[in-house]
Amino acid sequence: MPENIKEWPNEGELVLGTVIRVNPFSALVALEEYKGKEGMIHISEVAGKWVRDIRKFVKKGQKIVVLVLKVNKEKGHISLSLKRVKRYDAEKKMKEYKRELKAQKMMKEVAKKLDMELNEALKTVDFQLKEIFGESFKAFQLSMTKEGFQTLLKRGVPENWAKAIREVAQEQMEIKEAKIKLNLELKSYKPDGIKIVKKLLKDAKDKDNIEIKYISAPRYLLSLSTKEPKTGVKKLRKVAEEIIKDIKSQGGEGSFKVG
């Protein structure tokens, strides 16, 4: 499981824990991101209402997101709260944790490709990626596209690291297609203006393999699915600019907006 480089959590920090013991008036929680560290949730910090039976809210083996209230390093005590964690924050933290698990699993493979010990890779490669992107998982995601790979290099990731990260990501991750949309307005003032607009749109659809949907005159929606979002936006903009250029040459006008 992923461990934090820090030895102790900070007060006010959200942490993921596993309930290891439930007492009548408290619950003991092992902190997943801080090896060997445990914290206690007092019954008064379990729920925002009076709690008669703490076991109705926390159970042994349960994974929960808690807020760190106080840290006493001398005594080794960490006070936690469950009731002060909002549902949205708990879901976000759990999602981040799962991403971190996946990233560290992939980091093991990166270490092999770089001929490094795992601990060395975590202290150098993983640490630098977190410093740059906030999380190492983001770097794996970016590496899978040409644009993203260049972003890694521009942000200071050594090329041999970036290549190893890309190789592992391509082996273990799947790029999800993004739907890029562009709103287009076209006006033709000629008697056969509707035919002119339809032909321009049909030609663009056939030539550039994009989807075109009629909204209501003079508005149309252009869209395409791609694994390279920035390239997709550029393509749609180019298509729209060409259509507008053509309709202006025939006395009409047009405009577009991405998104």
Q: 46 and 116, same structural domain?
A: no
Same domain? For 235 and 194 the reply is yes
Please tell me whether residues 150 and 188 are part of one structural domain. no
101 and 136 together in one domain? yes
Question: Do the domain assignments include residue 6?
Answer: no
Best CA proximity match to 155, nearest among 167, 139, 140 = 139
Evaluate whether residue 21 is within a structural domain.
yes
CATH classification at residue 46: 2.40.50.140
Q: Within this chain, do residues 130 and 205 fall inside the same structural domain, yes or no?
A: no
| Position 120 in a domain | yes
100 and 133 fall within a common domain: yes
Return d(Cα 220, Cα 212) in angstroms, integer. 7
As a whole number of angstroms, the distance between CA 258 and CA 233 comes to: 8
Going by C-alpha positions, the residue among 178, 179, 182, 153 that lies closest to residue 165 is 153
Asked if residue 9 belongs to a domain, the reply is: no
Phi and psi, residue 124, nearest 5°: -110, -70
Domain CATH for 242: 3.30.70.1130
Q: Are residues 81 and 93 in the same domain?
A: no
Note down pLDDT in tens along the chain; length 259 residues: 455 557 899 999 999 999 999 999 999 999 998 989 999 999 999 999 999 999 999 999 999 999 999 999 999 999 999 999 999 999 999 999 999 999 999 999 999 999 999 999 989 999 999 999 999 999 999 998 888 999 999 999 999 999 999 999 999 987 777 889 999 999 999 989 889 999 999 998 888 888 999 898 899 999 998 878 888 899 999 999 999 999 999 999 999 998 7
pLDDT recorded at residue 37:
95
Read off the CATH number of the domain in which 126 is found. Answer: 1.10.150.190
Asked whether residue 162 is domain-assigned, the answer is: yes
- Structural domain count of the chain: 3
Task: Look at residue 5 in the predicted model and tell me its pLDDT.
Answer: 58
Instruction: Verify that 98 and 142 share a domain, yes or no.
Output: yes
136 vs 128: CA distance, rounded Å = 8
Evaluate whether residue 7 is within a structural domain. no
The predicted pLDDT at position 259 comes to 73
User: Is 254 contained in some domain?
Assistant: yes
Q: What was the pLDDT predicted at 64?
A: 97
Whether 107 and 120 map to the same domain: the answer is yes
Of 133, 153, 172, which closes a domain?
172
Chain centroid offset of residue 125 CA: 20
Q: In a 3-state reduction of DSSP, which class is residue 16?
A: strand
Give the phi and the psi of residue 14 in degrees, each rounded to 5.
Answer: -90, 130
pTM (2 d.p.): 0.60
Asked if 55 and 45 count as a contact pair (C-beta separation under 8 A), the reply is no
Domain identity same for 161 and 233: no
The SS3 of residue 90 is helix
129 and 156 fall within a common domain:
yes
Domain boundary among 172, 193, 222: 172
Q: 45: helix, coil or strand?
A: helix
Task: From 130, 129, 105, select the one nearest 1 (Cα to Cα).
Answer: 105
Q: Which domain holds residue 23?
A: 14-85
Q: Which of 62, 85, 108 is the last residue of a domain?
A: 85
